[in-house]
């Protein structure tokens, strides 16, 4: 019942936000702006975005290879793209579940190890986006952003720094996990013993990634999100009528963080509304801002969904 409720709420939010976008734009002008986008800029955006995807797969590989040599960047690419495709098409983060449990044989990993890598991956992404958000708030002088933006530029950068520091010293994470395991063992001894075996791999991975080893991962995270920012900027360059294409760099963290709000698979509505909102805050008109949001959303949704989905189908048939 809770799952159905979550899906219904997400659908309502998506419809409401798309409705808000369309109510503030002229449909004919919006369609014209989308059709008038420059294909050369879009092609460059696609190349940069795909490079960033390869970088994210390589980052995941570097986490897993600390204890699983078989998890090379090439071996990790298919599970990574397939998980993105599933997340874009199915609810309840189905892609993350598949990445945790469906590819362990090929990668030589265990579920606990992969779950730990996803946890670290999410923290790295969150910290990177908060850093970009803080820089965007400062560069564009935005002070009237609602919700999480009220933290301000300094607070966003501080929170990002705290996350990076905690990843460099993961001892506190191990203490928290150990406490949770003891509680689970008291409530359900059999499940606790089984879970302890899986979590042991996760704790081992977190310990390996601490200290100096986390620095390359932080650098890779900042690079791949910079590539995504360049993707957004290239799309903005392609859209006629945008007065400030640099606003795309602010749309990146705001729209991506907004995907934490319940929505449909593929983040319809939440991503688009806050991408438009960011472009309007950076002095762009509603119609080109909406055209930018819809184009960039399609560009980052379609390639991994097609490639990852087809790759998954082909690999499962061969198996």
Which of 183-197, 202-216, 246-260, 301-315 has the weakest average pLDDT? Answer: 183-197
Q: Is residue 84 a contact partner of residue 311, using CB atoms and an 8 Å limit? A: no
Q: How many domains does the chain have?
A: 1
Q: Is 194's pLDDT higher than 70?
A: no
Distance (Å, whole) CA 44 – CA 55: 17
At residue 141 the predicted structure's pLDDT band, cuts being 50, 70 and 90, is confident
Domain that holds residue 253: 40-70+109-314
Q: How confident is the model at residue 80 (pLDDT cuts 50, 70, 90)?
A: very high
Predicted confidence at residue 53, as pLDDT, reads 98
Average pLDDT over residues 65-80: 93
Averaged pLDDT for residues 80-101:
93
pLDDT of 98 > 90? The answer is yes
Strands annotated E in 217-283: none
| pLDDT, mean of residues 117-138 | 93
Locate tokens 């803080």: which residue? 134
State the pLDDT confidence band at 268, using cuts at 50, 70 and 90.
Answer: very high
- With respect to residue 212, please indicate whether it lies within any of the assigned structural domains: yes
pLDDT value, residue 176: 64
Taking residues 124-140, what's their average pLDDT? Answer: 93
pLDDT at position 193: 58
Tokens of residue 205, six digits: 């991975």
Query: Which region among 162-176, 245-259, 265-279, 283-297 has the lowest average model confidence (pLDDT)?
Result: 162-176
d(CA 294, CA 298): 6
pLDDT for the residue numbered 171:
72
pLDDT tens sequence across 280-298 = 999 999 999 999 999 999 9
Residue 20 belongs to a domain: no
Q: Are 198 and 101 in contact (CB under 8 A)?
A: no
- Residue 201's pLDDT is 59
Domain-embedded: residue 153: yes
Nearby residues of 69 by Cβ (< 8 Å), 6 or more positions away: 108
28: in domain:
no
Specify whether the CB–CB gap between 112 and 198 falls below 8 A. yes
What whole-number distance in Å separates Cα of residue 273 and Cα of residue 266?
Answer: 13
| Strand residue runs (E) in 103-243 | none
Residue 34, pLDDT > 90, answer yes
Residue 25 lies in a domain: no
**pLDDT of 67:** 83
pLDDT given for residue 180 in this prediction: 67
Phi, psi of 31 (to 5 degrees): -60, -40
Q: How far apart are CA 60 and CA 71, in angstroms?
A: 9
Q: Is residue 252 situated within a structural domain?
A: yes
User: Is residue 247 within 8 Å of residue 278, measured between CB atoms?
Assistant: yes
Does residue 88 lie within any of the structural domains?
no
Mean pLDDT score of the chain: 88
DSSP one-letter string for 7-44: HHHHHHHHHHHHHHHHHTS-HHHHHHHHHTS-HHHHHH
pTM of the model: 0.90
Domain presence at residue 23: no
Among 11-15, 166-170, 221-225, the least confident range: 166-170
């Amino acid at each position: 019942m809770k799952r159905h409720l979550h899906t219904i709420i997400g659908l309502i939010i998506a419809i409401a936000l798309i409705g808000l976008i369309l109510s503030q734009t002229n449909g004919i002008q919006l369609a014209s702006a989308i059709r008038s986008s420059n294909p050369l800029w879009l092609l460059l955006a696609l190349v940069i975005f795909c490079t960033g995807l390869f970088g994210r797969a390589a980052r995941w590989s570097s986490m897993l290879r600390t204890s699983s040599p078989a998890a090379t960047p090439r071996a990790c690419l298919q599970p990574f793209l397939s998980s993105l495709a599933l997340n874009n098409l199915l609810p309840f983060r189905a892609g993350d579940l598949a990445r945790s449990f469906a590819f362990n044989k090929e990668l030589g990993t265990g579920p606990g190890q992969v779950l730990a890598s996803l946890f670290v991956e999410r923290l790295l992404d969150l910290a990177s986006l908060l850093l970009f958000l803080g820089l965007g708030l400062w560069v564009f002088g935005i002070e009237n952003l609602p919700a999480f933006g009220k933290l301000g530029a300094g607070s966003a950068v501080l929170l990002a720094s705290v996350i990076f520091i905690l990843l460099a010293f993961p001892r506190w994470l191990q203490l928290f996990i150990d406490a949770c395991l003891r509680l689970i063992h008291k409530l359900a001894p059999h499940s606790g013993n089984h879970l302890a075996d899986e979590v042991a791999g996760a704790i081992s991975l977190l310990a390996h990634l601490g200290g100096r080893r986390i620095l390359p991962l932080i650098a890779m995270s900042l690079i791949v999100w910079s590539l995504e920012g360049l993707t957004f900027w290239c799309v903005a360059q392609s859209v006629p009528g945008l007065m400030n294409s640099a606003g795309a760099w602010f749309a990146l963290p705001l729209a991506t963080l907004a995907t934490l709000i319940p929505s449909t698979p593929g983040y319809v509505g939440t991503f688009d509304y806050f991408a438009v909102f960011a472009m309007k805050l950076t002095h762009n008109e509603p119609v080109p801002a909406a055209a930018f949001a819809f184009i960039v959303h399609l560009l980052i949704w379609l390639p991994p969904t097609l490639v990852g989905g087809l790759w998954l189908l082909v690999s499962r048939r061969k198996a």
